[in-house]
Structures are given as structure tokens and as C-alpha cells.
Chain A
Amino acid sequence: MKAFARLLERLAFTPGRNAKLTILSHYLHDTPDPDRGWALAALTGTLDLRQMSPSLLKGLAAERVDAQLFALSYDFVGDLAETIALIWPAEPATGPEVSLSQAVSLLRETGKLSLPGVIAGLLDILTPPERLALLKLATGNLRVGVSARLARVALAMGSPRSVDEIEEIWHGMQPPFLPLFAWLRGGPLPPPVAAPFRPVMLSTPVTPAELAALDPADHVAEWKWDGIRVQAVSEGGQRRLYSRTGEEIGAAFPDLLAAMDFEGALDGELLVRRGDDIAPFADLQKRLNRKTVGRALLQSHPAALRLYDMLTWQGRDLRPLPLTERRAALEAASLDPARIDLSPLLPFTSWDDLAALRAAPHAAVIEGVMIKRRDAPYLAGRPRGPWFKWKRDPMVVDAVLIYAQSGHGKRSGFFSDFTFGLWDGGDLVPVGKAYFGFTDEELRELDRFVRKNTTRRFGPVRQLAPKLVVEVAFEGLNVSTRHRSGLAMRFPRIARIRWDKPAAEADRLDSLRAML
């Protein structure tokens, strides 16, 4: 449990992706089976444990610690599990270390009524960092900023297997993943599972200048829908819906699973569709990240699939075939039209035709156009060339920088995280945060600006004199109750620094609202 506790702590404090990968791959390499498998399960969300509620935890603490001392401490520390891990009044045992596997099996096998007693017994013999790791496991809330995808990339490091190969077999694997680790070391391929995930083909951005060098006749184009890219697999009686990183998300979409009455693996966009109308992304968001979904939401936010491609069909792997042949097979397939339709191909003969379509899409839920080579096979990953995305021009506003905070890792010592605002009467209302979009040279200039124009400090946050205007580009706008402005931008970044523009001439909140 000690190594796992150290792992969680390092990951929680390490912001950089590469540093996280280093830490994780070292852990997975150095830790014996089956502990590393249970850790991997905890990090990838595949560990199904009975969960302790915060009130149960508080009850545990109340039996051991004076209420007033606990309240003072909780107030100071701010996190319940952390407070309990630190305050638990027991000297760690000097006996043999409790392994992660032992802790997990206790949590898995203990009934609801005896669980608090078992956890208290473990807390009595663990060190404070181990206690925190245990409580994070028991509350199902690791919060270390590791996605399942990142964990699989770490698995591939130092292994002869590629991350694509890992993703292909991932979904047949159960914790503690002993056959997986054996295979990663060069052992035999674990037996195949029904309806596995296949690594997705991704596109790269393209500019008009780059397009000009390509022959339009070699390409097809289609809309880039603003939903979630998914892979719908129905094979051997098993139906699964995967995100593009291979997470299984089918539990939240029983309506779509029910409509997947085919034998094959299809690539498409997950959307909320009412009749012919595609709902905005915010509607789809209501359906995401749920373990179950209620009847009312199924009625009001019906899920649908809009297909781009066909990977397998009736036992045949179509991925080596050219796109045109896969598309023909897709068009010939019989699918449930109430839930599943095809993303139409766009008519164009020149790039200018396509530019005109891209400039005026018929629906707000179109992010741009996709351009695909007719003769390209379906390739895993993000090969440059066969598929391009040509996004709509982003929305932009001119906003005023109002707060800054310093960055991490390569940006240590530089103010690189900015909050910007728009005018509402005489006030600047914060509307978003941006961390990127500027060059290294611009970062140095922004850092100098922050240091010269700090008006107040709130811990690590600097309040700035409202002087500097930045052009903020973003991909979409949603209504939000969590922000004071009532609006939330998608992918905001600093497109340009307007050293020339007086702050008073920055945009008003009303003009952002009008973009909704």
C-alpha cells in the first residue's frame, strides 16, 4: 500500500503529462503482480468497490476524535478524506505492510454493515499517506488527473507492445490484469473478447494553403458534427459503445444499444437527436458520465448515432479496404433509421465549393468539415494525410486580462494562466480562463506585463490593472450556472495579444451573449 500511496501523491501534485507518464510507468514496472493490476484498475475506473459515503466517514472519525478538534482540523485541511487520514489517532503498526491487493479484497468482500469496522481496522495499522490512499479508494475518488488512455500509454512504455495493440485487447481484461501484464512482457495474446474496441482513426488540421496542393477529386468531404466520436460494436451477441479512447460508455446509452441490431463495428458521432434536429452539445453533455439514465432523460434527450465509417461487418475486417469501398458497404447496410443514420457526403468539385459550405453550415452543431482520401484504408492513430479536419473559424471576442497565475513545469516562474473578462456596465465580469495560444516569446511578454501591473495578490493569484486586451478564440458557447457571467466557453485560447487596443474598447458581455 505504501508504493500505491506514493504513486497517488506524486500523480496528484504532478501537472505535466510526460512527468505523470514517467511516474506511472516506473510504478507499473517496479510493482509486483497483483498490486500493480489493482492500482491500474483504480486509475482506469475499472475497480468496482462498495463505496463509503462522506457521512459514514465522518461517523468513523467521530468515534475516535473529539468533535471540536475534528471540526477545527477539517476546517483547516478542507478535504474530508485527507483530514481523517491525518487525524486518525493510531500509531502505524510495525508489522508487515498491508498490500494494496489485501486492502482491495477487504473492500470488495466486506458487506455493507461491516464495512465501517473493516475500514477503521485498516486505518489503525496504516501510515497517514496509506490511510489517504485507502480512503480515496473507498470513496471512489482518486482525483489524480490520470485518464484511462494515459494509463495505457504508460503501460506501452518499456513494453514491446504499442498503445494501439493494448487498446485492442483492453476491453477483454479484468483486474488485476495478470494476462495483460504477461502479454506486455512478450507473453501470449490473451483470448479475444466479444465486441472489442478497435483503435480509432483521427484527423489532423489543415489550412487552405495546404489544401490547395491537393486534388479535390481524390477526396470526399462530410460535416464534422459536434457530438462525441464513438465506436458502436455489436458482435457475437455483445453490444458495446466506446468513446474514441476506448472507454465503454454504453451504460449511459441503453436507447442506442437497443437500436444496435447489426453485426459489426461502426464509427460515428454520438448525438442527441429529436426527429431530424440535432441538439446542441450541451444536451448531449446531460447524457454523458452517468452510470445509469432515467426514463425522463431518455425521453427528453434521445441518443442517436450518425455514422462515418465501417470497420467490420458480419465477421469481415473492412479496415484494409479503401474508404470508398467501406462507404459503399456502409450505405448498403440495413440499420435502425430511428436511431442510426449516415453522415452525408458533401457535394463539391473545388476547394472553393467546400469553403463555401464550411462557411455557412445549415446547423449550429457542425464544427466544420472533414476531408478524407478516397483510397485510404482505416488506420489506427493520427496519420498525417489521409484525413483532415477543416474547422469553422472560431468565435472571437476581445477581452481584458484581469487575473494571472503562474504555471508549472516548463512554465515554472512564468505567469501563464489567465482569467479574462468583458465589460458589463463599468465592471469587468470574468468570462473564462486561457492557458495557451501564445508563443514562448509572447509568454515572456505577458509575464513581464503581469509583474508590472499587479494591483493585488491573493495567494498565488495576481489581480491585474485592467489594461491589456487579448483576442480570445473559442469553439463554442454554453449557458452555465457555474460562472458569474452565465456563459461558458469551449476551448478558449489567446489568439492574439492586442497591445494596441485600449481596454475600454474591449467587448461587452452583451455581445458575447448575442453569440449564443
Chain B
Amino acid sequence: MTPRPDNILCPTEAGLYCPPGDFHIDPLRPVPRALITHGHSDHARPGHGAVMATRQTLDIMAIRHGEDFAASRQAATGPTRIGGVTVSFHPAGHVLGSAQILITPDRGPRILVSGDYCRTPNPTCLPWEPVACDVFITEATFGLPVFHHPDPLVEAGRLLASMAEFPDRPHLVGAYALGKAQRMIALARAAGHDAPIAIHGALQPLCDYHVAQGIGLGPLVPASDPGGARLILAPPSAFASPWVQRFRDPVLAYASGWMTVRARARSRGIELPLVISDHADWPALTATIRELAPQEVWITHGAEDGLLRWCELNAIPARPLRLVGYEDEPE
């Protein structure tokens, strides 16, 4: 009898579990064996036994959690045999090192775990790659038809336009330390901002790592000693801390897909919302499902109900996994 998808991968309290391979994917609590899609802290937690991920994700986990973040680690290279399945890692276009994980059993359906993914070109990571599969496990962070992320370069242009309109006000951009911050810097560079950009101390190690990986970020200076830098990047949590008080009359900006929704920006006191996301928006989520044409779609974290309804309207078999513990879009 051909195994059903549930025999190959199933949701558990610790996250997605593969019985024939005896491993979890992006587990929410310490497990003996973990495969990690990318380095965001809600997906890449410390304390597992053995960890397999891309070389860059392993490096990022070591930077964030220390060299002893797991008992042992293995960089994903080509297809690898684990127990009764073969696993392979494919670029997800989300952040540096991010991957989709394909599980190929000897018999039965191939399951692709997308992790978080994005199809908009991003100079800080490899582009998303289509992978043939029978079951597609998709994120649904922006799984409502209101989410159409605009061209990120246009958004960067809005930032520079505001800097030109308010030359005396420092512009503080909230951006998550892994991925968003470096992409924001790359976008500002692409939009024509050549001057030094000041970064909050929490962003330094990962910016250094991106540069070491050959991703040009241009001149960066510490926000503690910004010199004449008028563009400052910080993790959004810094906006609620006294750290902000050193800047005189700043324009607070925030780079996130959530900035599409005005109430989200308003409740955070953001003056310049920048809709820049490293997740697939609604058109990309639905186009990807059509393109991969899997037999079945499983929907993880985010707005499952919206994507589920779309699958129903398009007669695509789908079910929600209702995994708890992943953030909407981490900060």
C-alpha cells in the first residue's frame, strides 16, 4: 500500500515531524534531530541534538545562539538520505540561507515544506526555485487578498523622498535584524543613497556576516556614533526603548509587509510605513500553488483561512495545519 502523506509528515506539538526519517522541521522545542528552513528565531531555535540546514543558516544560528546551539550540525549539500526518506534543500528567496525542504520517500508522495518564501528579487539571497512535489506545504503570512506588496524599490524611493523633504530629521527605519535590515540597506543603495547608513548594535553581527558572504551593503557606521548619517536602521523593538530618545525629532519608519494595513502602522506610531516584505504576497501565494500544481496543499502559519477559501474556490484540495508558535512576521 502506498503511504499517505500523513505517514511521511505530520503536525505535532513540537512542529512538523517525519516518522520515517525521525526528524522535525523547524521544531518549536528541543528535539533530537531538526531540519531548519531558515535562521529567523521562531524557526531556528537553539538546543536541538543534530541540526541540518544550509551552510549559511548554520552560520546564522551560530551567530545568534552561540557556537554550541546544537550538539552536532550538518550542512545540507545535495540530496541526503535520512532514515527511510531523502531530503534536499532548495532556495526559498526569503532571507540569506533560507531553503525549502523537499522530502522524497521511497514510495509515496513527495512533500515540499516551503518554510517562509518570497518570489520578489532580493539581492541578499538566492531566488526562490520551483520544486516539483505532490504535497506543498505553504506559509500563509499574507494569505488574504488585500496583500499586494508593491515594488520594494519604489518603497525605498519613498524613504529617500521623505529624507529629501525633511532633511533635518533623522530617519529611523525599523527592520528585523536578519534579512530585512540588509535588504533595506541594499534597497536604499539601489535607490541611490550612497552616504553612510547608521545601524543599531543589534544589527551589526548579521550585517558583517552578509558582507562576508559577498553581499555589498556600502558604508555602515554604528548608530551610537552616527556622524552625519541621516538614515538609521534598528530592530523595531528599539523604537519602544529609550534608545530612540537620542535622536532629535526623528521620522519613524518601519519596513514590513504589515505596513499595507494602516491601522497596523498607526498603532505603532509609525510616520512612514514602508511595505517591504520577505514573504510571498497574495498574488505570489496563489500563483505558486497554481504553478506547482500539487495534488494537495497544506497551509501553515498566517492567514490560513483566506488561502484555504481560495483553494476551495479553485477546487484544490487543501487543509490547515494550525501549527502554533510561529510569528506572523518576526521582529
A residues adjacent to B (C-beta < 8 A): 6, 10, 12-16, 19, 22-23, 26, 65-66, 68-69, 72-73, 76-79, 82-83, 86-87, 89, 128, 405-410, 412-414, 447, 451, 459-460
Complex interface: chain A residues within 8 A of B270 (CB): 13
Once the chains bind, are A89 and B145 in contact (CB under 8 Å)?
A: yes
Closest residue of chain A to B267 (Cβ to Cβ) is A459
> Which of B166, B249, B262 meets A12, CB within 8 Å?
B262
B207 within 8 A of A: no
Contacts of B306 in A (CB 8 A): 69, 72-73
Nearest CB of B to A22, in Å: 6
Number of A-B pairs whose CB atoms are under 8 Å? 101
Chain B positions 236 through 250: 1 when the CB is less than 8 Å from some CB of chain A, otherwise 0: 000111111101111
State the Cβ distance, B23 to closest chain A Cβ, in Å: 34
17 residue pairs of the A-B complex, CB under 8 angstroms, read A10-B162, A12-B262, A13-B265, A22-B165, A22-B166, A69-B144, A69-B309, A69-B310, A73-B144, A73-B146, A76-B146, A76-B303, A77-B261, A86-B148, A406-B269, A413-B240, A414-B245
Contacts of B244 in A (CB 8 A): 412-413
| Residue contact A412 to B262, C-beta cutoff 8 Å | no
Asked if B263 lies at the interface with its beta carbon under 8 angstroms from chain A, I say yes
Contact A413 B309 (CB under 8 A): no
> Which residues from A are CB-within-8-Å of B266?
13
Partner of A460, one of B148, B262, B269: B269
B273 CB–A CB distance under 8 Å: yes
- A128 vs B282: C-alpha distance when bound (angstroms): 14
Inter-chain CA distance A13–B239, complex, in Å, is 16
**Does A460 lie within 8 Å of B267, measured CB to CB?**
yes
Greatest chain B CB density within 10 A among A26, A65, A82 is at: A82
> CB of B268 within 8 A of chain A?
yes
Cross-chain contact A19 with B166 (CB below 8 angstroms): yes
B273 to chain A: closest residue by CB: A13
Chain B hits for A414, CB < 8 A: 245
- Chain A nearest CB from B289 CB (Å) reads 15
Given known pairs A69-B310, A413-B243, the reply for A408 and B271 (CB within 8 Å) is: yes
Nearest chain B CB to A52 CB, angstrom units: 19
Closest chain B CB from A4 CB (angstroms): 15
Residue of A nearest to B265 (CB): A13
CB distance from A241 to the nearest CB of B (A): 35
Say yes or no: A86-B260 contact (C-beta < 8 A), given A19-B166, A22-B165: yes
Kindly state the separation between the CA atoms of A77 and B147 in the bound complex, as whole angstroms. 10
Whether A87 lies near B145 (C-beta < 8 A) is yes
Q: In the complex, what residues of A have CB within 8 A of residue B240's CB?
A: 406, 413, 460
Q: Does B280 contact A (CB under 8 A)?
A: no
Residues in A neighbouring B248, C-beta threshold 8 A: 410
Give the distance in Å from the alpha carbon of A128 to the alpha carbon of B154 in the complex. Answer: 14
Q: Which one of A23, A66, A412 lies within 8 Å of B249 (CB-CB)?
A: A412
Q: Digit string of B108-144 for contact with A (CB within 8 Å is 1, else 0)?
A: 0000000000000000000000000000000000001
Q: Is the CB of A77 within 8 A of B263?
A: yes
**A173 to nearest B CB, angstroms?**
27
Closest Cβ of chain A to B241, distance in Å, is: 7
List the A side residues contacting B239 at CB < 8 Å. Answer: 412-413
Considering residues A65, A66, A86, A128, which has the most beta carbons from chain B within 10 angstroms of its beta carbon?
Answer: A86
Complex contact B144–A78 (CB within 8 A)? no
Least distance between B310 CB and chain A CB atoms (Å): 7
* Distance, CA A459 to CA B162, complexed state (A): 26
**Separation of A218 and B265 alpha carbons in the complex (Å):** 55
Across-interface contacts of B250 in A (CB, < 8 A) = 409, 412
Q: In the docked arrangement, what's the CA distance between A406 and B250, Å?
A: 13
Quick check: A73 and B145 within 8 Å, CB to CB?
Answer: yes
Contact of B165 among A26, A65, A451 (CB under 8 A): A26
- CB neighbours (8 Å) of A77 from chain B are 146, 261, 263
Assess whether B165 is in contact with A23, with CB atoms less than 8 Å apart: yes
Given A22-B165, A86-B260, A410-B248, the answer on whether A69 and B267 have CB atoms closer than 8 Å is no
| CB-defined contacts of B260 to chain A, threshold 8 Å | 86
In the assembled complex, B284 has its CB within 8 A of some CB on chain A: no
Nearest B residue to A26 via CB reads B165
Check A76/B261 contact, CB under 8 A, given A406-B269, A408-B271, A414-B245.
yes
User: Contact between A72 and B268 (Cβ–Cβ < 8 Å)?
Assistant: no
Q: Once bound together, how far apart are the Cα atoms of A66 and B313, in whole Å?
A: 9
In angstroms, Cα B309 to Cα A65, docked, is 12
| Cβ distance B111 to chain A, nearest Cβ, rounded Å | 27
Tell me whether B252 is interfacial, beta carbon within 8 Å.
yes
Give A58 to B166 CA distance when docked, in angstroms.
38
Q: Is B305 interfacial (CB 8 A cutoff)?
A: yes
Contacts of B147 in A (CB 8 A): 86
B269: contacting residue among A12, A65, A66, A408, CB under 8 A: A408
The CA of A82 and the CA of B252, in the complex, are separated in Å by 22
Contacts of B172 in A (CB 8 A): 412
Confirm or deny: B187 has a beta carbon within 8 angstroms of a beta carbon on chain A.
Answer: no
Min CB distance A139 to B, Å, is: 15
Collect the chain B residues with CB atoms within 8 Å of residue A14's CB: 271
The 6 A-B residue pairs with the shortest CB-CB distance in the complex, in nearest-first order:
A413-B244, A86-B146, A413-B245, A410-B249, A73-B146, A73-B144
User: B146 to A87, Cβ gap below 8 A?
Assistant: yes
Assembly CA distance A23 to B162 (angstroms): 9
